[in-house]
């Protein structure tokens, strides 16, 4: 967090054209990621976090309309031409997918796949690319990397493949790494290993990370700052410790209450759920979208949309939780 933000998202809106008319998936989302910072974007399924991530990488289908601004080191990505995008992708922004089983090409060795990224983007020779691929595999903690580099993806386990994906993503030393639920498809023990790798990369390479997840454990483990999304909007953003200690939005405190914590209350304590589902919105109403599910909604909540307050701990709520909740 030295100079300005590396990635600056301002008023990003994504609307899908569907058979039932336009569908608003992301509504005026603003995010900032500083140099070497890990920003976690959390929320339930369907709240727009993956769509946000995909729009950062320009991966949305054509039925999507994207408005607003995404600036990477001052370069505007929304509406950029194909050539600009191609030169930025891989080099400046890299992406880690949720499903390691399908995100590697099954017919090439992992070394070749990592090497090709280097050959194309940095112009390394074949041998140099291979050597670098071995280094990268070591960096992400793959044992006997010299041998593994000649393995095909199907010879690796899910956790190893995810490590390979990370190696490929950081091959060109990108400024921002977008990790879309990088550990969701993995076992808990493997998850911890992957999180270690991401943390080590951030420390060694200074890569900024946008971590998309619904797992608050992952957030607590890795993130510096958190943005909580609900129904396409950012409802709260704060430093990770601040957010866990003093959640202000009722949705955030609901999320925290709904996640199990080891040790305390084990066996005796029933997890609290948030009643209802994330609404699917044809258009974003001028109201708090959480009002219907909110335990402490006021009349104002369904009449007017709350704005994010300014400050370091920002919340969009008419009646925020002021008491620290019991987790």
Stretch that binds another protein, among 41-49, 93-101, 199-207, 222-230 (CB under 8 A): 93-101
- Nearest distance from C-beta of residue 145 to another protein, angstroms: 12
Distances (CA, A) of 174 to 5, 90, 189, 209, 258: 15, 7, 27, 10, 35
Site track 39-78 with another protein (rule: CB under 8 A), x = hit: ------------------xxx--x----------------
Stretch that binds another protein, among 29-37, 71-79, 158-166, 244-252 (CB under 8 A): 158-166
- Nearest distance from C-beta of residue 319 to another protein, angstroms: 41
Q: Interface with another protein includes 104 (CB under 8 A)?
A: yes
Q: Interface with another protein includes 88 (CB under 8 A)?
A: yes
Nearer residue to another protein within complex by CB, 140 or 291: 140
- The footprint of another protein on residues 179-218 (CB under 8 A) is 190, 193
- Nearest distance from C-beta of residue 14 to another protein, angstroms: 17
| CB distance 30 to 235 below 8 Å | no
Nearer residue to another protein within complex by CB, 61 or 267: 61
The residue within the footprint of another protein, chosen from 75, 107, 303, 307 (CB under 8 A), is 107
Q: Kindly determine how many residues on this chain lie close enough to bind another protein according to the rule CB under 8 A.
A: 47
Nearer residue to another protein within complex by CB, 107 or 271: 107
> Sign of the CA dihedral 45, 48, 49, 51?
positive
Nearer residue to another protein within complex by CB, 6 or 168: 168
Nearer residue to another protein within complex by CB, 120 or 297: 120
Q: Interface with another protein includes 147 (CB under 8 A)?
A: yes
The residue within the footprint of another protein, chosen from 74, 106, 123, 263 (CB under 8 A), is 106
Stretch that binds another protein, among 1-9, 143-151, 207-215, 258-266 (CB under 8 A): 143-151
Site residues for another protein per CB under 8 A: 57-59, 62, 85-91, 93-95, 97-99, 102-108, 116-117, 120-121, 141-144, 147, 150-152, 154-157, 159-160, 163, 165, 168, 190, 193
């Amino acid at each position: 967090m030295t100079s300005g933000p590396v990635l600056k998202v301002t008023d990003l809106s994504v609307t899908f054209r569907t058979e039932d008319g336009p569908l608003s998936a992301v509504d005026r989302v603003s995010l900032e990621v500083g140099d070497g910072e890990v920003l976690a974007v959390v929320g339930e399924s369907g709240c727009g976090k993956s769509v946000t991530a995909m729009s950062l990488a320009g991966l949305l289908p054509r039925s999507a309309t994207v408005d607003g601004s995404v600036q990477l080191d001052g370069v505007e990505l929304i509406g950029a031409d194909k050539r600009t995008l191609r030169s930025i992708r891989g080099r400046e922004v890299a992406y880690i997918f949720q499903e390691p089983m399908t995100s590697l090409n099954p017919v090439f060795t992992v070394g070749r796949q990592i090497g090709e990224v280097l050959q194309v983007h940095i112009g390394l020779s074949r041998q140099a690319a291979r050597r670098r691929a071995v280094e990268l595999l070591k960096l992400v903690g793959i044992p006997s990397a010299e041998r593994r580099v000649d393995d095909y993806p199907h010879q690796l386990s899910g956790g190893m493949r995810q490590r390979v994906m990370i190696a490929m993503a950081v091959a060109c030393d990108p400024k921002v790494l977008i990790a879309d639920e990088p550990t969701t498809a993995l076992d808990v023990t493997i998850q911890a290993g992957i999180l270690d790798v991401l943390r080590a990369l951030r420390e060694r390479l200074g890569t900024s990370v946008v971590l998309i997840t619904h797992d608050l454990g992952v957030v607590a483990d890795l993130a510096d700052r958190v943005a909580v999304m609900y129904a396409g909007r950012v409802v709260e953003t704060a430093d990770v410790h601040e957010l866990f200690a003093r959640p202000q939005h009722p949705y955030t405190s609901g999320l925290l209450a709904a996640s199990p914590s080891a040790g305390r209350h084990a066996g005796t304590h029933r997890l609290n759920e948030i009643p209802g589902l994330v609404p699917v919105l044809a258009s974003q109403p001028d109201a708090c979208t959480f009002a219907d599910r909110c335990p402490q909604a006021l009349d104002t909540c369904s009449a007017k949309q709350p704005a994010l307050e300014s400050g370091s701990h920002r919340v969009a709520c008419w009646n925020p939780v002021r008491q620290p909740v019991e987790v």
